[in-house]
Amino acid sequence: MTEIKEKCGIFGAYSYSGSDVIPLMITGLRALQHRGQEAWGISTSTINPYKQKGLLTENLDKSVPILEKMTSNAAIGHLRYSTVGGSSLRHAQPMAVGNKFAIAHNGTISDTKTLEKNLKERGISPNGCNDTTLAGYRLQTLLKENNWDWYSAIEKLAEELVGAYCFLIITNDGKVFAIRDTRGFRPLCIGYHKQTESYIFASESCGLYVMGASLVRDVKQGEVVRLDKNGMDSFSFYKGERAAHCAFEYSYFAHPSSIIDGRSVYHARKELGKQLAMLYNGEADVVVPVPDSARPAALGYAMESGIAFEEGLMKDRYAKRGGIRSFIEPKMVDRERINRWMVAVKEIVNNKDVIVVDDSIVRGTSSPNIIKTLRNAGAKSVKMAVTFPPITNPCYAGIDFPTHQELVAYRTCGANATVEKANKEVAKAIGADAVGYNGIKQLCKGIGLKETELCLSCNTGDYRCLKRTSD
Ligand code: SF4
């Protein structure tokens, strides 16, 4: 079986006034584009998903005539960000499961073997399927064999699944379901759009605000929420597992305007910058953010340290793909190309001691170019302050760094590196005068959640939160 892992963004809507939700789908998916840029898709209850490669805006003109015909009061959509399996349309979502329902997934199912085995025993050959399709077909067998209602089948499926998942499902009789795993790894929220009387499900609340919808609440850990003609109701399959919200969402992945599990991403980032300044408090002339995601953190650093904040690095806005975030580009060559479109403002950094603030150092691909760019513009020294602690272990819960070897902190310091060691070794590897990472204590403080409420597996190598039983 080809193992395909999904991260992505999901969005769904159900209008109780019978309004066409397709325009809401387009607006919402566009606002979530930072979560996946390789392909997108939308399904209504006809279970005939429409999918396109690339950015939603790139394909929209040729898609409009088709989307106009999709008119529906209920739909789900998906933005894809892949690891292996390439960016082919075959793996784009939502995925049709027979003609009964379509499913869209944000996360990674780590134990696909159990799903495959269960399906093979029932004569279903899952070869070439990804984790989303496997979960979808398994759900179908549970519904069919046991004549179960949706809630019972989803509860049973959740007992079998290991990993991180938020699912949206649309059925051929027009129901929409939102499901969040029992640890709450990935974000998923519920919103309300007054003009169309629509309830909305979105990976992040930034997908709501853009259309004037309001945030109602998060989908809870181990909860399934159903929208149908009778209204909204929900069912809990939560068994008391500890939360494991992805800390990386707050530091890098999510949009700064989003509120996730009650915490503002913007304020978390700013606070993470303040934590860095308290920890290192080094002397410098100027604090410069790596655009775009590190801006709030650099502001926080500058406020706490009293060192001037300046936009000393700019992305080339006119480069074709300059707006694309380098970390989530699937090919290394693409990441490097994007990073070359970073321009230093000489007037800001020339002859200055610069503290450049970044949200994370994952592979160490972009940092050397950024440091070189600042030096070429005349910076006297370049120290890098990093809000997310050293990433020394892979992520198996929905972010694309699945191996140790690709991680610069692992390559230079091993899986159990201290912050002090990573500061020293990673500085050498990326060519900085110094590196200063936040520790886990500062990370938790900045986000405003306890260590026991966050997933920190990529920092600690402790993967107990990915086991079936609660720890
Ligand atoms: S391992 Fe790291 S990136 Fe993956 S879910 Fe946990 S905190 Fe997020």
Instruction: Using pLDDT thresholds of 50, 70 and 90, give the confidence band for residue 471.
Output: very low
Q: Separation of 449 CA from ligand 1 center, angstroms?
A: 15
d(CA 392, CA 362): 9
Nearest protein Cα to ligand 1, atom 6: 455
Q: E-assigned strands of 310-400?
A: 313-315, 342-344, 353-358, 381-386
The verdict on the CB of residue 248 being under 6 Å from ligand 1 is: yes
Would you say how long the chain is, in residues?
Answer: 471
The verdict on the CB of residue 290 being under 6 Å from ligand 1 is: no
CB-CB contact of 339 with 373 (8 Å): no
Residues 103-112, mean pLDDT to the nearest whole number: 92
The verdict on the CB of residue 422 being under 6 Å from ligand 1 is: no
Instruction: Using pLDDT thresholds of 50, 70 and 90, give the confidence band for residue 3.
Output: very low
The pLDDT of residue 469 is 52
The atom of ligand 1 lying closest to the CA of 246 is 8
Task: Read off the pLDDT of residues 118-155 as tens digits, 9 standing for 90 and up.
Answer: 899 999 886 667 889 999 999 999 999 888 999 999 99
Contacts of 15 (CB under 8 A, 6+ apart): 21, 73, 74, 196, 197, 198
Q: What percent of the chain is predicted at pLDDT more than 70?
A: 90
Residue 304 predicted with pLDDT over 60: yes
Q: Which residues pair with 227 in a beta bridge?
A: 176, 232
The verdict on the CB of residue 26 being under 6 Å from ligand 1 is: no
With the most atoms of ligand 1 within 8 angstroms of its CB, the residue from 7, 252, 443, 455 to mutate is 455
Nearest protein Cα to ligand 1, atom 8: 246
The verdict on the CB of residue 184 being under 6 Å from ligand 1 is: no
Q: Separation of 455 CA from ligand 1 center, angstroms?
A: 6
**Range in 36-40, 91-95, 129-133 with the lowest mean pLDDT:** 129-133
The atom of ligand 1 lying closest to the CA of 247 is 7
With the most atoms of ligand 1 within 8 angstroms of its CB, the residue from 456, 464, 465, 467 to mutate is 456
**Domains within the chain, CATH numbers bracketed:** 9-241 (3.60.20.10), 267-466 (3.40.50.2020)
Nearest protein Cα to ligand 1, atom 4: 395
The pLDDT of residue 290 is 96
Instruction: Using pLDDT thresholds of 50, 70 and 90, give the confidence band for residue 91.
Output: confident
Residues 386-392, mean pLDDT to the nearest whole number: 98
**8 catalytic residue (yes or no):** yes
The pLDDT of residue 341 is 72
The verdict on the CB of residue 456 being under 6 Å from ligand 1 is: yes
Q: Separation of 452 CA from ligand 1 center, angstroms?
A: 14
The verdict on the CB of residue 397 being under 6 Å from ligand 1 is: yes
Instruction: Using pLDDT thresholds of 50, 70 and 90, give the confidence band for residue 82.
Output: low
Residues 356-363, mean pLDDT to the nearest whole number: 96
What is the Cα gyration radius of the chain? 22
d(CA 131, CA 133): 6
pTM exceeds 0.85: yes
The verdict on the CB of residue 222 being under 6 Å from ligand 1 is: no
Task: Read off the pLDDT of residues 228-274 as tens digits, 9 standing for 90 and up.
Answer: 999 999 999 999 999 999 999 999 999 999 999 999 999 999 999 99
The pLDDT of residue 57 is 86
